[in-house]
Amino acid sequence: MEPGKIIKITEDSDPDRCQAVTSNGQCRNKKYDENTNYCLAHGGNRGEDTAKKISKKNYYRSRWQARLEQYTDNDNIKSLREEIGILRLILEETLNKCNDESELIIQSNKISDLVMKVDKVVTSCHKLEGSMGHLLDKQAILQFASEIITVISEEIEDKEILNRIADKIVKRVSDDS
């Protein structure tokens, strides 16, 4: 087909018919080229640009595909703990570079931004782990402590020692929660 020229179809069943719909029904022009389903009047000349964009997108996707697969194949992909660690390291290094109050003030925006990011990622991590059932509530911890005490009582017959161990475990669970 000549660039810039619109050609009319000869049959309604022409496979190269433009797919645009007008007020009179389906367009009666031929497609502009193989990269599009539309004629020149309906934007068919943009098919080549679209094909180039898709090709470029596929190039970038394939270029990074191996790296992306490393992250998506990881069982811990839904964990944000490493990201929290990275942000905290960056925050620590930023603070370590400050030798006096003026440098601290100069870096205050960056430090504040990092603190906010750590907070946001920690909050997201907590929500994610909670929704995945990775967090224990106080009742679950107490139940687990009870099971540990039961196991210990099967091995230790001295009731006085057993009671001290049980009291210490319950106290630790109660203090930490």
Query: pLDDT tier at 30 (50, 70, 90 boundaries)?
Result: confident
Considering only 1-5, 93-97, 121-125, which range has the smallest mean pLDDT? 1-5
Instruction: Decide if 44 contacts 36 (C-beta within 8 A).
Output: yes
38, 17 in Cβ contact below 8 A? no
Between CA 85 and CA 88 the distance in angstroms is 5
Alpha helices in 16-158 (DSSP H): 47-72, 81-96, 101-106, 108-131, 138-155
pLDDT at 109: 94
Q: What is the pLDDT of residue 113?
A: 94
Tell me: the pLDDT tens digits for 146-166?
888 888 888 888 888 888 888
Residue 169 has pLDDT above 70, yes or no: yes
The count of other CB atoms within 10 Å of the CB of residue 87 is 19
The CA distance from 172 to 177, in Å, is 9
Residue 127 neighbours by CB distance under 10 Å: 12
Q: What is the value of pTM for the model shown?
A: 0.40
Average pLDDT over residues 116-121: 91
- For residue 75, the SS3 value is coil
Residue type, 60: Y
Is 60 exceeded by the pLDDT of residue 177? no
Q: Is pLDDT larger for residue 99 or for residue 74?
A: 99
Token pair of 11 as six digits: 């049959």
Q: Decide if pLDDT at 176 tops 60.
A: no
pLDDT at 100: 93
- DSSP annotation of 37 reads S
Question: Model confidence over 135-148: pLDDT tens digits?
Answer: 666 777 778 888 88
Q: What local confidence, expressed as pLDDT, does residue 34 receive?
A: 79
Task: Tell me if 81 sits within 8 A of 108, measured CB to CB.
Answer: no
Residue 170: its H or E element: helix 159-176
Model pLDDT for residues 34-87, shown as the tens digit of each residue:
778 888 888 877 766 766 776 666 666 666 667 666 665 666 555 677 788 888
